[in-house]
Amino acid sequence: MSGTHINGGCCFDYGNSETDDHDDGCGTMEAIYFGNAHWHGNTGLVTDPENEGPWAGADLEQGMYYGGGEKTQVNNGSKPLPHEFVSLYLRGSTNGFTLKGGDATVGTLDTQYDGPRPDAKIAGTCGKTGKYQPMRKMGAIILATGGDNSNSAMGKFYEGYMTKGATTDKTDAAVQANIVAAKYVNPHFPGYKN
């Protein structure tokens, strides 16, 4: 994705979503969210209050999260990714999730979060009985909208992949190396040479 063409709207997502274009409750999605939304005040690391994010997040329905557990609202481990080309990764597991991100033109992926799913009490969503664990994923695939068809976000998506089951850190590193080897460039940037 692009880290230079974002906003805080809902929801620039890619991943698993509801099959009916409705908000079917907490835990019915597991999609990468990319932007600088502050759902119920949540945030990643703020290094520049005038130009926050963008951060790698997880849209799990009724919220875009940069962390979970005690880091549901503020995750200072979620670093801004303002690169022209950004690699993002979301891995769901039985008891939590992992977010990774990095520059898609150089380097490796950094783990932005690895831990439990959001705490619904901290998040301020899901009502009295709702929760994010266990997940109730439905299997549709979305791109650039929320699961309830929310479309006020903006972004640029270049390519993506999905796997059945969870990948390993070794596989994630190999995919990032392959992306870097593709040598993404913007021909409109100064210094571009064909």
Mind listing the pLDDT tens digit for each residue in 86-110? 999 999 988 899 999 999 999 999 9
**What does the pLDDT look like over 132-181, one tens digit per residue?**
988 898 989 999 999 888 999 999 999 998 888 889 999 999 999 999 99
Question: Could you write out the DSSP letters of every residue in 15-57?
Answer: EEE-SSSS---TTS-EEEEEE---GGG-B---S-TTS---EEE
Residue 48 has pLDDT above 80, yes or no: yes
User: Has residue 1 been placed in a domain?
Assistant: no
Q: Is the pLDDT of residue 58 over 80?
A: yes
| Catalytic residue (one of 13, 24, 30, 61) | 61
Average pLDDT over residues 115-119: 94
CATH code of 170's domain: 2.60.120.200
Answer yes or no: is 188 within a domain.
no
The answer to whether the beta carbons of residues 119 and 131 sit under 8 Å apart is no
Catalytic one of 13, 103, 119, 148: 148
Say how many domains are in the chain: 1
- Give this prediction's pTM: 0.92
Judge whether 61 lies within some domain: yes
Domain that includes residue 119, residue range: 13-181
Query: Is position 103 within any domain?
Result: yes
Task: Using DSSP, state whether 175 is helix, strand or coil.
Answer: helix
Find the mean pLDDT for residues 33-52.
Answer: 92
| Residue 187 included in any domain | no
**Whole-number Å distance between alpha carbons of 163 and 31:** 13
Per-residue confidence (pLDDT) for residue 194, from 0 to 100:
53
What's the pLDDT score for residue 126? 81
- Residue 105, domain member (yes or no): yes
> Would residue 159 show up in a list of annotated catalytic residues for this protein?
no
On the question of pLDDT at 193 being above 80, the answer is: no
Residue 118 in this model has a pLDDT that exceeds 80? yes
Q: Quick check: is 101 in a domain? A: yes
Query: Does pLDDT of 189 surpass 70?
Result: no
Q: Is 61 a catalytic residue?
A: yes
Question: pLDDT band at residue 30, thresholds of 50, 70 and 90?
Answer: very high
Bigger pLDDT: 42 or 164?
Answer: 42
Determine, yes or no, domain membership for 47.
yes
Q: What percent of the chain has pLDDT over 90?
A: 68
